[in-house]
Amino acid sequence: MTPDFMKDGLKILIIDDNPHDCVLYKRYLEKVRNLQNSIVHAETGEEGIERYRELRPDCVILDYVLPDMNGLDFLSAAAELSNHKCGFVMITGQGDEEVAVQAMKAGAHDYLVKGNISQQSLYRAIKNAVENVRLRKDLAEKNRELLERNQELADKNEELEKFAYVASHDLKQPLRTLKGHLNLFGKKYEELFDEEGRKFLGIMSESIERMSNLIDDLLKYATLGSEVKEFSCIDSSLALGIAKMNLDAVIRETAAEITNAPLPMVMGDLTLLSQVFQNLIHNAINYRSEAPPRVHVSAEKRGQMVVFSVRDNGIGIAKAHCERIFQAFRRLHSYSEYAGNGLGLATCKKVVQLHGGRIWVASAPGKGSTFYFSLPMGSVQQKSLPEEVAEPVV
């Protein structure tokens, strides 16, 4: 019977100067009914290297003690010779465990002890060695494909970012001209306008202002994170503090109350993290219900990550929209209902993903929303952080 791993035929090189051992291995191997198997024999290390070069075998059965070199020398010579991948089974002497360990470290895939070799143990060792090499080859191939795809994706992203940057940059110029001339126009003909004319002018400049802000935000979104080279261990409560400071006016205006539990150190970028807090808190205030806005920020450990939650008592979001609101320009309301440009959550998502984390929301209309996002834990961790708190059911 032919074992599965030999079905395609194997090229086997036996390097052993002992004719009796060689005859034994050959006899075992020739019992396998597969004419495609080719078995070649060499008596010395030098001859073995020659045969290895010619045959490019699938497996080498290698005696550790050869007349002109030892098995380890042969392994390093074979590795230098070519990058051909081959399985190696080392034959060691009785009680030579130390040699066996060295051989495995030097690249052998299995070993057999001279004098104890049966047909079964020989097959098993060859199978181990050959399959090990095949698996490594497959893995290397898959890794290479993955790297290639990653590179393609990175190139496309870069191209897209450049495109968005150039497009938004170029859009600013005509908009500036429009704004300037509308101002001049308004001033020069001020007296000729009736109330309706002044209203139209007001709408036009407001729209220009909105478009200008949108382009600025788009520009920021396109280039987000490109200047961050590496993350460091940062205090997330500092990031929250910066966000609150930036939102000071709207917090006062709406009598919003922003509270927080102890917040941990995370691996990240302070400016980007404060941007995430700022966008989420701003949304919590913007999409408020009748009640004054109440926002609570907390964090919990989950494995090597920290999951932050930003909970509000606002209008809530229907389940059907909970995923798509993270896409750029996805808005659930008109501008006149709630001001915004649809880039806030997309920006949060981009920042969180840049940190290797995830962002999601649990919400229901009229029940408030809790936004969650995960970031890698910082190297200096606070012990008091709660572990694995369940998400609230809404």
Q: In the complex, what is the shortest distance from the CB of residue 346 to ligand ADP, in angstroms, rounded to a whole number?
A: 6
Q: In the complex, what is the shortest distance from the CB of residue 345 to ligand ADP, in angstroms, rounded to a whole number?
A: 3
Interface with ligand ADP (CB under 6 A), residue total 22
Q: Which of 202, 333, 337, 386 binds ligand ADP (CB under 6 A)?
A: 333
Q: Does 254 contact ligand ADP by CB under 6 A?
A: no
Phi/psi of residue 327, each to 5°? -85, 150
Q: How far apart are the C-alpha atoms of 394 and 319, rounded to whole Å? A: 10
Residue length of the chain = 394
- Find how far residue 391's CA is from the centre of its chain: 25
Give 334-339 contacts, CB < 8 A, sequence gap 24+: 335/210, 338/286, 338/287, 339/286
User: Which structure tokens are listed for 168?
Assistant: 């938004």
x-or-dash string of contact with ligand ADP, 303-332, rule CB under 6 A: ---------x-xxxx-------x----xxx
Q: Which is nearer to ligand ADP, 71 or 314 (CB)?
A: 314
Q: Which of 107, 186, 241, 342 binds ligand ADP (CB under 6 A)?
A: 342
C-alpha to C-alpha distances, 251 to 255, 285, 339, nearest whole angstrom: 6, 8, 16
Q: In the complex, what is the shortest distance from the CB of residue 132 to ligand ADP, in angstroms, rounded to a whole number?
A: 50
Q: Does 99 contact ligand ADP by CB under 6 A?
A: no
Q: In the complex, what is the shortest distance from the CB of residue 224 to ligand ADP, in angstroms, rounded to a whole number?
A: 14
Q: Does 344 contact ligand ADP by CB under 6 A?
A: yes
C-alpha to C-alpha distances, 29 to 44, 132, 315, 322, nearest whole angstrom: 21, 20, 76, 63
Short-list 263, 213, 215, CA closest to 242: 263
Q: Does 287 contact ligand ADP by CB under 6 A?
A: yes
Q: Which is nearer to ligand ADP, 264 or 293 (CB)?
A: 293
Q: How far apart are the C-alpha atoms of 121 and 24, rounded to whole Å? A: 13
Q: In the complex, what is the shortest distance from the CB of residue 313 to ligand ADP, in angstroms, rounded to a whole number?
A: 10
List the interface residues with ligand ADP, window 345-384 (CB under 6 A). Answer: 345-346, 369
User: Which structure tokens are listed for 268?
Assistant: 């990240």
Question: Residue numbers of the site for ligand ADP (CB under 6 A)?
Answer: 279, 283-284, 287, 312, 314-317, 325, 330-333, 340-346, 369
